Amino acid sequence: MKDENPSNNVALITKSILFLSLAVAVGLSSWLIYTNPNLNYVLSEQTKERQEALNREISKQQKNWNYFKYSDVAVSSEKYPLVVLQTSYKIIKLGAEKALVGWKYEVINTSPLTEYTVTVNYKIEDLDGFVIGEGTGESYVTPESYGSIQGTVLIDKNDVERLSNSSWLVGLSPDWLESEIKTEKKRYERLQNILKRKEPTPRWVFEHLAAEDSKRWRFENPKWDAIRSALAPETVKTGEQDHDFPDAVNPFDVQ
């Protein structure tokens, strides 16, 4: 049998009354906040301002493609066939909770004989390099011609304002080491010979060269130096007016 102490019962009743009072106070405060038009207006305006800021950022992101023109595959062998002209991404569709990001990977196959299946794993990243989303695409690129690989990435709408950078991995099939054993000349020299025919060159390349010519200085980049020498040799600059401003570091890899 359990002994009972009257003082314990009094203390228990007191605690129960205290907890009940606190519950009533919290409930009353919540009800007052819910029904107070001034408080509701402030909270509503804050939410509205945050949503408008997000919509402005999304609208800004939707207007233009984000281009990365100065990067290329980091490979030491001059027999490697692919030259990356540029990569880009853009928000192409916006839903209530998700955003669809389209990406494009533009290349020239400098191989004189081999058609390649180009497979790209494309990653959308924030300013600190954290991956927001990724997707894979592939396409055939015939010898000595331009080609593009495209795909989409589905991300959370709240991540749109984080979009800042991209990185990628590229793979070729068949094995380029075996296919290009007899390939001659350096990779950018082959690129120049192809571009001199101008047939496979997209229009934006010429527009980019013209835009660079309008500046007091321009980026010094081996790939674009080769492109300029082929398409606009009269505008090739040398000397002190050249500057070196490469792309932000991307973890490029070749498979």
What pLDDT, in 10s, does the model give residues 141-150? 999 999 999 9
pLDDT at 117: 97
Amino acid, res. 54:
L
107 and 222 belong to one structural domain: yes
- How many residues belong to the chain? 255
53 and 102 belong to one structural domain: no
The low-confidence residues of the chain, meaning pLDDT below 70, are 1-63, 198, 216-219, 234-255
3-state helix, strand, coil in the chain (%, to 5): 40, 30, 30
pLDDT digits (tens, 9 = 90+) for 28-81: 666 655 666 665 555 566 666 666 666 666 666 566 889 999 989 999 999 999
pLDDT at 99: 93
Residue 1 lies inside a defined structural domain of this protein: no
pLDDT at 232: 81
Range of the domain at 20: 6-62
- Rounded to whole angstroms, how far apart are CA atoms 39 and 44? 9
Other CB atoms within 10 A of residue 195 CB: 21
119 and 211 belong to one structural domain: yes
- Rounded to whole angstroms, how far apart are CA atoms 166 and 130? 10
16 and 73 belong to one structural domain: no
44 and 72 belong to one structural domain: no
Distances (CA, A) of 228 to 10, 181, 189, 208, 221: 92, 28, 12, 10, 10
Residue 11 lies inside a defined structural domain of this protein: yes
What total of structural domains would you count in the chain? Answer: 2
191 and 237 belong to one structural domain: yes
Question: 108 has which bridge partners?
Answer: 83, 146
Last residue of a domain, one of 40, 62, 84: 62
CA dihedral 68, 73, 79, 85 (to 10 degrees): -10
47 and 119 belong to one structural domain: no
pLDDT at 63: 61
Other CB atoms within 10 A of residue 58 CB: 17
- Determine if the pTM surpasses 0.85: no
Q: Is 66 helix (H, G, I), strand (E, B) or coil?
A: strand
219 and 199 belong to one structural domain: yes
- Rounded to whole angstroms, how far apart are CA atoms 124 and 135? 9
10 and 79 belong to one structural domain: no
